């Protein structure tokens, strides 16, 4: 399996110039190839193959206006073409959005394969550079002197920090021991997650706590003249504030997902349509701050590595409106009602805990009967329950009163 280690890098002035030139060349190759794809599709209705884009890169290097492309290593340029080809494959398979043009104001990166770098004795040397690239290794249990990376990614964040990522081919990790437990998880805004065991994971609301500082930095940047040194300083301060929020959110998601994977053999979650939910202008910021998509991504790869089972139930499954005791389905349940009493059996429910119990029941029923579910590692979208409520086994909504 592939494992990545991301470290802080401290290139000297000469290395920064070479890497900045490499970033610019990667951006030019990406944008020109993407523009050619647009032109070819709209003019002839055809797609651009990787072989054709590789030949176009050779032609670009012979162009007198693009002679600077030959001044940097050719490996990051070829990797940009491969990444764009994979991006379009993922787009046509409906796994990703349409590839966009690269901007010089966003994160910059360059990918080096083994033919464009050397790693001996813990010292990294990149192509077109004379001195080793200085970086800080933060994993004392891994000997950096015997590291044999398959790929190295050098990146620069908008706040000016440099990073180097080592991609290593490692053996599969040992599977976690059986926990003898299954858990359903209901994601929300007030509480980030509520489990079927009754545990509540509080939503830390990282963006909301830093909103005033972010707004102040962005106002300062807006007052500065474009292209000035003061605007660059103000932009770096705003980027640093966003980095702190991003790192705090990522740390929280890693801790929450790891604790769930270690405590349960089976984890059942909902297939939330986050892209559609953020269209609500009243809840868009708080939903984006939750990081539900990143949380699900972490659960998927951690369950696969640990030998756990992740089941995703249909987003249309009415988990909140269904009684987890008798299966009665309410006709309506507003978001303001956090507790409700079942009119059929009289059970008193907490909205979120009841939803988590129903999600777990649906996952267990689907796993037991072999229904269509999405397990970890599967790329095919499948449904755990039907979209139309109808009388079935326990845990699935049942319409009462002869409806």
Catalytic positions are: 186, 270, 352
> Which residues are CB-contacts of 338 (< 8 A; sequence separation ≥ 6)?
350, 351, 352
**Using CA atoms, how far apart are residues 382 and 367, in angstroms rounded to an integer?**
13
User: Could you give the angle at the alpha carbon of 375 between the alpha carbons of 373 and 376, nearest 5°?
Assistant: 155
- Neighbour count for residue 152 (Cβ, 10 Å): 20
Helix segments in 144-210, DSSP class H: 206-209
Q: What is the DSSP string of 93-109?
A: TTSSPPP----TTS-EE
Helices (H), ranges, 47-194: 50-62, 74-92
Q: What φ, ψ does residue 385 adopt, rounded to 5°? A: -140, 165
Residues 397, 338, 261, 148, CA torsion sign: positive
352 token code pair? 């979120």
Give exposure, 260-272, as e/b (b: 16+ Cβ within 10 Å): bbebbbbbbbbbb
d(CA 363, CA 178): 18
Q: How far is CA 313 from CA 182, 184, 360, 402, in A?
A: 14, 10, 9, 27
Calculate the alpha carbon distances from 42 to 35, 215, 268 in Å.
11, 41, 43
CB 270 within 8 A of CB 319: yes
Query: Which whole-number Å values give the CA distances from 73 to 21, 84, 106, 116, in the listed order?
Result: 10, 18, 22, 7
Yes or no: say if 350 and 371 are a contact pair by the CB < 8 Å rule: no
- Rounded to an integer, what distance in angstroms lies between the CA atom of residue 96 and that of residue 246? 21
- Cα separation, 260 vs 351, whole angstroms: 21
């Amino acid at each position: 399996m592939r494992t990545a280690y991301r470290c802080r890098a401290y290139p000297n002035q000469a290395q920064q110039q070479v890497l900045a030139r490499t970033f610019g060349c990667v951006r030019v190759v990406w944008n020109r190839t993407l523009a050619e794809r647009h032109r070819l599709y709209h003019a002839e209705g055809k797609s651009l193959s990787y072989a054709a884009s590789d030949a176009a890169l050779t032609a670009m290097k012979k162009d007198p206006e693009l002679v600077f492309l030959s001044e940097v290593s050719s490996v990051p340029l070829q990797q940009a073409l491969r990444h764009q080809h994979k991006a379009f494959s993922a787009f046509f398979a409906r796994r990703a959005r349409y590839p966009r043009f690269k901007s010089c104001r966003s994160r910059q990166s360059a990918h080096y394969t083994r033919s464009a770098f050397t790693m001996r004795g813990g010292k990294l040397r990149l192509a077109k550079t004379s001195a080793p690239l200085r970086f800080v290794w933060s994993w004392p249990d891994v000997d950096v002197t015997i590291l044999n990376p398959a790929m190295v990614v050098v990146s620069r964040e908008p706040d000016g920090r440099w990073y180097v990522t080592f991609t290593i081919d490692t053996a599969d990790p040992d599977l976690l021991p059986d926990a003898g437990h299954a858990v359903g998880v209901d994601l929300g805004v007030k509480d980030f997650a509520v489990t079927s065991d009754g545990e509540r994971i509080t939503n830390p609301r990282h963006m909301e706590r830093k909103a005033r500082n972010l707004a102040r930095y962005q106002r300062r940047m807006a007052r500065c003249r474009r292209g000035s040194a003061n605007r660059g300083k103000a932009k770096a301060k705003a980027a640093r504030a966003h980095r702190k929020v991003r790192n705090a959110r990522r740390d929280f998601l890693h801790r929450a997902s790891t604790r769930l994977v270690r405590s349960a053999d089976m984890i059942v979650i909902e297939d939330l349509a986050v892209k559609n939910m953020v269209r609500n202008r009243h809840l868009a910021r708080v939903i984006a701050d939750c990081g539900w998509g990143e949380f699900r991504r972490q659960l998927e790869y951690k369950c696969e590595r640990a030998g756990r089972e992740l089941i995703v139930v249909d987003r249309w499954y009415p988990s909140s409106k269904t009684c987890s005791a008798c299966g009665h389905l309410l006709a309506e349940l507003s978001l303001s009602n956090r507790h409700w009493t079942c009119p059929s059996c009289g059970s008193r429910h907490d909205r979120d805990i009841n939803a988590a119990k129903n999600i777990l029941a649906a996952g267990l029923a689907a796993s037991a009967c072999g229904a269509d579910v999405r397990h970890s590692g599967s790329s095919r979208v499948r449904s755990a329950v039907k979209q139309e409520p109808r009388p079935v086994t326990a845990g699935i909504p049942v319409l009462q009163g002869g409806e």
